[in-house]
Chain A
Amino acid sequence: MISPGPFFLDQIFFIVAPYVAIIIFLLVSIRRYRTEAFTFSSLSSQFLENQHHFWGLVPFHFGIITVLLGHVIAFLIPREILAWNSHPVRLYVLEGTAFVAALLTMLGLTSLIIRRVTDPKVKKVTSWADWVVFGSFVVQILSGVYVALFHSWGSSWFAALAAPYLWSLVTLTPDITYVTAMPWMVKIHIISAWLMIAFAPFTRLVHILVVPNPYLWRKPQVVRWYAAWRAFRA
């Protein structure tokens, strides 16, 4: 699959990088969860600064979740997305929503970066890894917004080109013909995504892996028994 030639770099970035990233992601996350469970935390700094916090964290999280969800949906059901986009009005609605979400993310991110540098207490709990995370988000979001603005319509060509590329990775038959011809900004967006995935398990981003969904169905009170036999009866 990988051969020297004109597309050598593309092969590194779009075939080797994703697999390496995903393997690192899985191995490191699992190892970290098993041996350093204590470090799995959202590392919230709301306690140190409670006002500005809202204006950064809330738009950022709602924005990024919407954007990510959009990517995942277009990856899972590309045909339906294309069908939806066949009507201009529906296309505008979809693109508009995505764009608003991206703007929210951008504003939120800006606000929380400002908070990180201006509040002395919050600054104190900011590590170098946090700056790597912020930096990669900046690259990711700026490239994403650029693509959305200048290479329209992203939702359609994502479904038509990026989704098949991703599926080709999933099915272990990587096919980069979909991406080699893409504009360089799109390529940056994809490459930096792989980098982020590889780096995520070393950072605070692991909190995404432990979103507390069981809360939705568990009973309000939790009792733990030390006696082994009680654990089953209770």
Chain B
Amino acid sequence: MNVRSQISMVFHLDKCIGCHTCSIACKNIWTDRKGTEYMWWNNVETKPGTGFPTQWENQEKYRGGWELVNGKLQLKSTSKAKTLTNIFHNPSMPSMDDYYEPWTYKYDELFNAPEGSDQPTARPISMVTGEYINVEAGPNWDDDLGGSPVYAESDPNLKGLTEEQRQQLFAIERLVFFYFPRICNHCLNPSCVAACPSGALYKRGEDGIVLIDQKRCRGWRACVAACPYKKTFYNWSTGKSEKCVLCYPRLETGQAPACFHSCVGRIRYLGVLLYDADRIEEVAKLPNEQLIDGHRSLVLNPNDPAVIAAARQNGIHDSVIESAQQSPVYKFVKEWKLALPPHIEFRTLPMLYYVPPMSPVMAQREDDTVSSVSSEFFHDIEQSRVPLQFMANLFGAGHQGKVVYALKKQKAIRTYRRAKTVGDITMDVAERMLREADCTVEEAEAIYKLTSLCTFEERFVIPPMHREEAIEMMREPSEHKTSVGFGFMDAPQRGL
């Protein structure tokens, strides 16, 4: 057992209101520089929808992630040999057209326009060329199903759905969607790291954050092609790739990442998971249907004395182990099995998990309309308005079992709470449903609490990073403290 600690995350999709506050918080801190205008390290997509960049989940197009070839794990986009031949032109590299051309408005025209009979306007101009452009795409072009016949219908997750199920998703009175906020998953088997020819990407040993060394990156852009979630971005101005840094400067000072901190729906949870690094490769090679269980089995019980001993032996600080014991992520992922990794079939073993969202609970699909009468108070999970197969394609590698489990449990807890607070459902029914959903009353209460009444401290259990101890062999920490800061000693400017 090779115990390592990883800062992990849960996004509770049932709570996301699609306000994009998270994206703006991130943009203001990290990506408002030249060359990064188009990047959204945090973005919120509408599902069904094509997302950002367009159709990123379609790996036939983007060739991200890993694949199993004769029992061996291989990058889809590259290999040692291909790196040499494709370094001049990377055939799997998306271009700005797959994202969008960033723009601003020529505001000064509002003030400088000569007097006339027309209202002056501020026309959009490209943030790359400075020329006037016609805005034809944006980071959230299909927000709230906007233009869904073009966008939502090309969602790669609709694969395997019958024509009828697809129709139902988009018929006006039955329309349904949910939000899917995304950041870098800080994967255990990151394909971005494995693809970088320069070795500029790395995973931090102490906390698992995946970063790009800006001084080692040479702009070979292999990571952009290799990340199946398209969460590394190429800065066209500096010629370097960049990605979500999980606000590590904030984490190191005990603050939640900006997108977590600002989340209006309070859907985000963050905490330590201890995992067994020796088994990563073995798990990443499992067949699709075993991936979720395998991924879960990598996560170790932080209360198990054997795990604690092995963690200590590996130099994991007691305070980090304690933090792992409090981790809300551990509860959602391991104890309650409510949170699932997105697209685990890409085999990067993402460490950001999602609680799948319930469809509108009072309504379900009938033959050709939506009906709000059900044999039970809330709709049947199987009849939910978002077809289960769609959810399974997103969170279950195409298999419905784990998704149904998570949804059933959420439904049972709602029923139980309704029985308790409103009383129009009998406790018998509620308890039977809890039993069927593999949930005890205590667990239901705990889930309810952490979902609905969670405080800041309960949502974000940030371990002390102990940077002072990490450096003490090299330098006197107090002296170090006065001589460093964030940022560059030399300006991060494009060379000639």
Contact = CB atoms under 8 A, between A and B. Distances in A.
Interface of A: 32, 35-50, 53-54, 57-58, 60-62, 120-121, 123-125, 127-130, 202-204, 206-207, 210, 212, 214-216, 218, 220-230, 233-234
Contacts of B130: 124
A129 B203 contact: no
B197 A212 contact: yes
A41 B236 CA distance: 11
A47 B93 contact: yes
Contacts of B216: 37
A229 B130 CA distance: 50
A207 B236 CA distance: 16
Contacts of B59: none
A234 B218 CA distance: 26
A136 to B, nearest CB: 14
A57 B88 contact: yes
Given A41-B218, A42-B219, A47-B96, A229 B190 contact: no
B154 to A, nearest CB: 20
A215 B97 contact: no
B496 A222 contact: no
B95 A50 contact: yes
Most chain A C-beta atoms within 10 Å of own C-beta, residue among B101, B199, B467: B199
A46 B494 contact: no
Contacts of A54: 89, 91
Given A41-B238, A222-B196, 13 more contacts: A37-B215, A38-B238, A38-B492, A39-B495, A40-B215, A48-B95, A48-B236, A62-B88, A221-B194, A223-B204, A225-B204, A227-B469, A228-B474
Contact of A57 (B89, B189, B238): B89
Contacts of B494: 39, 41, 43, 125
A53 B89 contact: yes
B219 A228 contact: no
Contacts, number: 169
A214 B199 contact: yes
Contacts of B128: 48, 121, 124
B89 A43 contact: no
Contact of B131 (A61, A120, A128, A206): A120
Nearest to A226: B470
Main secondary structure of the interface of A (DSSP, over half): helix
B236 A47 contact: yes
Interface residues of B, number: 61
A44 to B, nearest CB: 5
Given A39-B494, A223-B203, A212 B83 contact: yes
B323 interface: no
B236 A58 contact: no
Interface string B69-94: 00000000000100100011111011
B218 A40 contact: yes
Contacts of B189: 221
CB-CB nearest 9 A-B residue pairs: A39-B495, A212-B197, A50-B95, A41-B239, A129-B496, A225-B205, A220-B194, A226-B470, A37-B215
22 contacts: A37-B490, A38-B492, A38-B493, A39-B496, A41-B238, A42-B219, A44-B221, A44-B234, A46-B90, A47-B236, A48-B96, A50-B94, A53-B89, A57-B88, A61-B88, A124-B129, A206-B495, A210-B218, A215-B199, A221-B194, A227-B470, A229-B315
A206 B209 CA distance: 30
A41 B240 contact: yes
B33 to A, nearest CB: 13
A41 B217 contact: yes
A215 B89 contact: no
A223 B202 contact: yes
Chain A CB within 10 Å, residue with most, of B90, B236, B469? B236
Contacts of A38: 214-215, 238, 240, 488, 490-493, 495
B237 interface: yes
B37 interface: no
Contacts of B91: 54
Contacts of B203: 221-224
A224 to B, nearest CB: 5
Interface string B360-399: 0000000000000000000000000000000000000000
A43 B219 contact: yes
Contacts of A39: 493-496
B249 to A, nearest CB: 14
Given A44-B239, A50-B97, A121 B129 contact: yes
B244 interface: no
A62 B239 CA distance: 22
Contact of A226 (B214, B219, B471, B493): B471
B227 interface: no
A226 B206 contact: yes
Given A58-B89, A127-B496, A221 B190 contact: yes
